[in-house]
């Protein structure tokens, strides 16, 4: 298996633009997690899905952030409009129902908003 | 509110030495405690997971311990190697809301 795949790996955009981050979890995994990592705040859970259904989105910072999982093999995290303080590395992770806490992380998307 | 702290933020150790990384948490109502490794520009890799009922877990040269009463976990690395250089993060999974709280990590550099 190729592991968790994220795209793009790097994204530079101007303030006010819409940004869409993509994730393909490991095939057969039931859970999908979106995290954000910054130097100041460390790694924070934004939202997670179980069988494509959002379970907890309390970590989503504000309404500018939204996440979808239309099917078991694809998820998006969208920021609209983007702001400089959204600059961070965004990670996607997935895990199985049998071992939900053994999360496999993708390589991350480094987002820079100027 | 749970806080997970890792001190020091960075550590340099000569190759071959044994070392201990520290993780402390303020709320002992945790379901489990995990240690992760993060290489530069990469995602996290799970190293060890300790359930709240356990005291320690071992994998190769790594040993993780958990003391819920004192709110502490340690990651012991034996006979350190340059390949161990990475950032090590601990994370606590909370009982009450299933939230996982990460420490900010300790950046470890093994000197060849």
CB contact under 8 A, B43 and A106: yes
In the predicted model, what is the mean pLDDT of residues B87-102? 88
How far is B84 from A70, CA to CA, in rounded Å?
A: 39
Question: Would you call A84 helix, strand, or coil by DSSP?
Answer: helix
pLDDT at residue A1 in the model: 64
CA distance B105 to B30: 19
Contact by Cβ (8 Å): A46, A35: yes
Give the pLDDT mean for B78-92. 96
Q: Nearest Cβ partner of A101 from B34, B44, B104? A: B34
Which residue is closest to B33 within chain A, CA to CA? Answer: A101
Inter-CA distances, B11 with A100, B33, B73, B76, Å: 31, 22, 17, 13
Angle at B27 between CA B22 and CA B37, to 5 degrees: 35
CB atoms within 10 A of CB A112: 13
Under the banding of pLDDT at 50, 70 and 90, the label for residue B99 is: confident
Contact status, residue B75 vs residue B35, Cβ threshold 8 Å: yes
- Higher-pLDDT residue of A15 and B94 is A15
The token pair at A27 is 């095939």
Mean per-residue pLDDT, B59-77: 96
pLDDT at A90 over 80: yes
Q: What is the SS3 assignment for A74?
A: strand
Instruction: Find the residue in A nearest to B93 (Cα).
Output: A101
Q: Count Cα atoms within 13 angstroms, Cβ side, for A15.
A: 4
Phi first, then psi: what are they for B55, rounded to 5°?
A: -105, -30
Average of pLDDT values for B59-76? 96
pLDDT of residue B74: 97
Instruction: Examine the pLDDT at B33 and tell me if it is beyond 80.
Output: yes
Give me the mean pLDDT over the A92-111 stretch: 92
Per-residue pLDDT at B98: 76
Q: Looking at residue A99, what is its pLDDT? A: 85
Closest chain A residue to the Cα of B99, Cα to Cα: A45
Q: Do B42 and A107 touch (CB under 8 A)?
A: yes
Q: Residue A101 has what pLDDT?
A: 81
More confident residue, A97 or B106: B106
Q: How high is the mean pLDDT of chain B? A: 94
What is the enclosing helix (H) or strand (E) of B109? strand B106-111
A26-84: pLDDT as tens digits: 999 999 999 999 988 899 999 999 999 999 898 998 899 999 999 999 999 999 999 99
């Amino acid at each position: 298996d190729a592991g968790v795949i994220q795209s793009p790996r790097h994204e530079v955009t101007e303030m006010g633009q819409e940004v869409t981050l993509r994730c393909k979890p490991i095939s057969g995994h039931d859970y999908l997690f979106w995290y954000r990592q910054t130097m100041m705040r460390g790694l924070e859970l934004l939202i997670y899905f179980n069988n494509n259904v959002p379970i907890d989105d309390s970590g989503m910072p504000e309404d500018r952030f939204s996440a979808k999982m239309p099917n078991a093999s694809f998820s998006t995290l969208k920021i609209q409009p983007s702001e400089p303080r959204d600059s961070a590395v965004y990670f996607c992770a997935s895990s199985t129902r049998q071992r939900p806490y053994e999360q496999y992380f993708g390589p991350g998307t480094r987002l820079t908003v100027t | 509110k749970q806080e997970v702290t890792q001190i020091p933020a960075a550590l340099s150790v000569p190759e071959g030495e044994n070392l201990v990384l520290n993780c402390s948490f303020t709320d002992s109502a945790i379901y489990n405690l995990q240690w992760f490794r993060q290489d530069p520009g990469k995602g996290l890799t799970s190293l060890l997971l300790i359930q709240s009922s356990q005291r320690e877990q071992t994998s190769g040269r790594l040993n993780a311990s958990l003391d819920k009463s004192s709110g502490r976990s340690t990651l012991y690395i034996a006979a350190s190697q340059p390949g161990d250089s990475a950032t090590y993060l601990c994370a606590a999974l909370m009982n009450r809301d299933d939230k996982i709280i990460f420490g900010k990590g300790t950046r470890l550099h093994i000197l060849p």
